[in-house]
Amino acid sequence: MHALPMDTPRLDIRHLQMIRAIGRTGRVVDAAEELGLTPSALSHRIKEAERRLGAPLFERTHKRLRMTAAAEYLANFCEKFLGELYLIEDEVRRMNAGIDRVVRIAVENYSAYHWFPAFFGEFRAKNPSIDIQIMAGNRRDMTGSLLDRHVDLAIVSNATHHAATRALPLFDDQLVFVCAPEHPLASRDVIAAEDIEGQRFVTFTKVPEPDQEFANLFRPERRYPKWTAAVELPEAIVELVAANQGTSVLAQWAVAPHVQSGRIMAIPLGPSPVQIQWRCELRKDEPQNGPVQNVAEALAVWFSDHG
């Protein structure tokens, strides 16, 4: 089957509505009245649809229109498609009643949203016309997701900057060594590179990043763990660690709920802590007083108040 050229004329929703209306009424006058058109305007629309399709849709018989096989096929589709489309439109209107703008956010690398319910409740109480949507996607390239407009606001920890984005600082954090409670290193107060050397280790990626454990812990000491796996989902890393099937180095803030529940242990890195700063990154073309900026500023205040 050969694909049609990109510039092939296509029917639009007006043509689908027209085909459905004529299929229901069988008369140009009645269909035009249902659509709020004059009979002349509807006749022009029929000709335009036939031109775009390159096939006849109707035959006139005693002031009535008889559908061709192509039109009957389309009419059957239109009835189902338009009915579903209108249902979805109504659902969207009901779901977004009073909502002027939806701001899409994502957290780099981590599925760390333990803070979100409290923040969202507080934010919506003050900003009922702004909704916030959590987005999945390429969590390792948040700047790309911002520039592609897949997300409006990214919570990031890396040190990279882009000329088309701006950032607000949120809070300081540190990387920690994580292991199962029964792991031999679980009782340590500080973990150095030499302690991790030879340990089964699960990492995001084996490609060194400038502000992560490779550059700040392993490389300076020339001591490296035994790479067990590279897993790009932190929640999967936590499960492996909790099952004592490996250790890892992760952001303290992101794993805090798992540490508090006792599933894993988090131990500071030494001899000096590996500090990271979480920031809120957004596009520079977002208005200074717009919804995205409002969410970013609210996040900065919320994390300042709640740590």
261 strand-pairing partners: none
Domain boundaries of the chain, sorted by first residue: 13-95, 101-170+277-306, 172-275
Per-residue pLDDT of 90-104, as tens digits, reads 767 766 677 778 899
Q: Does domain 172-275 have CATH number 3.90.1150.10?
A: no
C-alpha span between 230 and 208 (Å, rounded) = 12
The CA distance from 184 to 143, in Å, is 39
Read off the pLDDT band of 216 (50, 70, 90): low
Count of residues making up the chain: 307
Phi, psi values for residue 69, rounded to 5°: -60, -35
| pTM of the full structure | 0.65
DSSP states along the chain: -PPPPTT-----HHHHHHHHHHHHH-SHHHHHHHHT--HHHHHHHHHHHHHHHTS--EEEETTEEEE-HHHHHHHHHHHHHHHHHHHHHHHHHHHTTT--EEEEEEESS----TTHHHHHHHHHHH-TTEEEEE--S-TT-HHHHHHTTS-SEEEE-S----TTEEEEEEEEEEEEEEE-TTSTTTT-S-B-HHHHTTSEEEES-SS--TTSHIIIIIHHHT---EEEEE-S-HHHHHHHHHTTS-BEEEEHHHHHHHHHTTSSEEEEBSSS--EEEEEEEEETTS-TTSHHHHHHHHHHHHHHHH-
Cβ atoms of residues 42 and 55 within 8 Å: no
pLDDT, one tens digit per residue, over 131-176 is 898 887 556 678 888 988 889 999 998 666 788 999 999 999 999 9
- Percent of the chain past pLDDT 70, that is, above it, reads 87
Specify the CATH number of the domain 13-95.
Answer: 1.10.10.10
The structural architecture, per CATH, of the domain 101-170+277-306 is: 3-Layer(aba) Sandwich (3.40)
pLDDT digits over 30-57, tens only?
Answer: 889 989 999 899 999 999 999 998 889 9
With 0-12 / 13-18 / 19 or more C-beta atoms within 10 angstroms meaning exposed / middle / buried, residue 68 is middle
Same fold, 13-95 and 172-275: no
* 65 pLDDT tier (thresholds 50, 70, 90): confident
